Amino acid sequence: MTTQKHPVGQHPSLPPPSNSVGVLYWLKENLFNGVFNSLLTICSILLLINYVPPLFNWAIAKADWIGSTKDACSKEGACWVFIRVWFDQFLYGRFPSESVWRINLSYILAIAAAAPLFFSFVARKVKLALIAFLLVIYPIICFYLYAGGGFGLQEVETSRWGGLFLTLVIAVSGIVLSLPLGILLALGRRSSMPVIKSFCVIFIEFWRGIPLITVLFMASVMFPLFVPENISPDKLLRVLVGVILFSSAYMAEVVRGGLQAIPKGQYEAAAALGLNYWKSMLLIILPQALKMVIPGIVNTFIGLFKDTTLVLIIGLFDLLGMVQLASTNQKWLGFTIEGYVFAAIGFFIFCFAMSRYSQHLERVLNTGHRN
């Protein structure tokens, strides 16, 4: 007969059975859970065995890392010498080398101003001041740093902007300005005033109905034909306006989806508190709606970031454009793959960072919509 060593109901928890823990249990549950999953796992392992070692040899083991000319490439693996030689052009385009410090200074200012926003111990007033600096003062500083022509800085034409620098200029401008414009359009589309509603509907449907390539062509080629030459804005400015309007139409529909998901009771509660339209939107409706559509908003941002590569067709050389330009150089023919791999890694880093920040925001704001 077994002797009871513990009071009834106070027996300590026993360890789980040995067949439900450990590496073998994890493999069985996650990789070999059924016939189909087992076949899928085996096929995946075979693919990895076939493709990973050659890829490793090409990208790392047999790659050429040192040198300054094409002769340093042995052709047995990737020639990262190509990336090393063209690295500055990939980052800054044809921006004058003696003025590159201006771009780097803008990056440092942005990081220094944005980094405290990610820490909870920073006071709310400080964060609001930093946000105001980033939205109002920082763009003005960047304009003078990039374009020059003031404070003793050499003037640099926008045709010399390029590489990752140009990609960030177009993407950040589009992201920062398309969000508030998209919110206004979404509110306008749900407005009870027919004129405003009709205008927003026509605007959104028009910009969503044409491809971005058409917008860029119209901004670059057609628009200057309809205005006097002396008042025609810079090509890059025209492109920025086109990208912002195009992206704002998509953003408006994302935000409208969030507005429609808000229960009618929230609108009635705002009205019961005596809030007018703008106060009810800013204090009650929009905070909830924007929280619910964070994944959609970030998805639009990521799409816009990758769409910046289309500016190549109108003669602006972003990161991908500079890679293609370098690949057609007579002294560096045959290294297109290395360039595309470098560009893909660069785009992946920024897109993955935006995706992870989106998930971080969902956790911080406790949206309750994450799976």
pLDDT at 364 over 50: yes
Amino acid letter, residue 29? E
Long-range contacts at 135-140 (CB < 8 A, ≥ 24 apart): 135/176, 138/109, 138/110, 138/113
226 and 319 in a single domain? The answer is yes
Q: Are residues 248 and 99 in the same domain?
A: no
Contact criterion met (CB below 8 Å) for 338 and 79: yes
Residue 331 in any domain: the answer is: yes
The values of phi and psi at residue 113, to 5°, are -80, -30
What pLDDT digit, counting tens, does each position of 30-52 carry? Answer: 888 888 999 999 999 999 999 99
**Tokens representing 144?**
């003078």
* pLDDT confidence tier of residue 350, bands split at 50, 70 and 90: very high
Q: Which amino acid is at 235?
A: K
- Coil, strand or helix at 161: strand
Question: pLDDT digits over 198-245, tens only?
Answer: 999 999 999 999 999 999 888 888 777 777 777 778 888 889 999 999
pLDDT tens for residues 264-274?
Answer: 898 899 889 88
- Domains in the chain: how many in total? 2
Mean pLDDT of the chain: 88
Q: Based on the domain organization, do 225 and 354 belong to the same domain?
A: yes
Q: What's the distance, CA 298 to chain centroid?
A: 7
Do residues 137 and 231 share a domain? Answer: no
- Final residue of a domain: which of 116, 139, 156? 156
Residue closest to 270 by CA, chosen among 262, 279, 261: 279
The residue ranking higher by pLDDT, 18 or 108, is 108
Q: Please give the structure tokens belonging to residue 268.
A: 């009635």
Percent residues over pLDDT 70 in the chain: 96
Tens-place pLDDT, residues 123-144: 889 989 999 999 899 999 999 9
Q: How far apart are alpha carbons 366 and 360 in whole angstroms?
A: 10
pLDDT tens, residue by residue, 59-82: 999 898 988 888 888 888 889 999
- The answer, yes or no, to whether residue 106 has pLDDT greater than 60, is yes
Are residues 194 and 107 part of one domain? no
Examine the domain organization and report whether 321 and 198 are in the same domain: yes
Q: Are 188 and 199 in contact (CB under 8 A)?
A: yes
**Helix-strand-coil split of the chain, %, nearest 5:** 75, 0, 25
Burial (CB < 10 A; 0-12, 13-18, 19+), residue 114, is middle
User: Do residue 267 and residue 305 come from a single domain?
Assistant: yes
User: Could you tell me if 304 and 269 lie in one domain?
Assistant: yes
pLDDT band at 343 (very low <50, low <70, confident <90, very high): very high
Round to whole Å and give the CA distance between 166 and 101.
15
At 47 the pLDDT is 94
Which tokens belong to 79? Answer: 């020639």
335 pLDDT band, cuts 50/70/90, is confident
CA torsion angle for 280, 281, 285, 288 (degrees, to 10)? Answer: -120
- The arithmetic mean of pLDDT across residues 156-185, rounded, is 93
Within a domain: residue 265?
yes
Of the CA atoms within 13 Å of residue 283, those in its CB half-sphere come to: 11
322 vs 119, higher pLDDT: 322
Establish if 121 belongs to a structural domain.
yes
Note every long-range contact of 213-217, with CB atoms under 8 Å and residues 24 or more positions apart, other chains counting.
Answer: 213/310, 213/313, 215/242, 215/243, 215/245, 215/246, 216/242, 216/243, 216/310, 216/311, 216/313, 216/314, 217/313, 217/314
Q: Residue 367 — pLDDT band, cuts 50, 70, 90?
A: low
Tell me the pLDDT band of 25, cut-offs 50, 70 and 90.
confident
CB 207, CB 141: distance < 8 Å: no
| pLDDT recorded at residue 299 | 92
pLDDT above 80 (res 370): no
Quote the tokens at residue 200: 């927003």
CATH of the domain at 247: 1.10.3720.10
- Tell me, yes or no, whether 54 lies in a domain: no
- pLDDT at residue 368, as a whole number: 56
Residue 20 pLDDT level (bands cut at 50, 70, 90)? confident
> How much is the pLDDT for 369?
53
For residue 229, tell me if it sits in a domain.
Answer: yes
User: What is the rounded average pLDDT of the residues 3-8?
Assistant: 67
pLDDT, residue 119, reads 83
| Domain presence at residue 116 | yes
Q: Which domain holds residue 148?
A: 85-156
Above 50 in pLDDT, residue 371?
no
E strands, 87-160, where? none
**Do residues 260 and 136 share a domain?**
no
Q: Is residue 48 part of a domain?
A: no
Does residue 289 surpass a pLDDT of 80?
Answer: yes
The pLDDT of residue 244: 93
- Are residues 328 and 357 located together in one domain of the fold? yes
- Ramachandran assignment for 263, one of left (phi > 0), alpha (psi -120 to 50 degrees), beta (any other): beta
Is 93:322 a contact under the CB 8 Å cutoff? Answer: yes
Q: Same domain for 222 and 352?
A: yes
Q: Is residue 216 part of a domain?
A: yes
Residue where a domain terminates, one of 101, 128, 156: 156
Are residues 225 and 259 located together in one domain of the fold?
A: yes
Last residue of one domain, picked from the residues 131, 156, 181 = 156
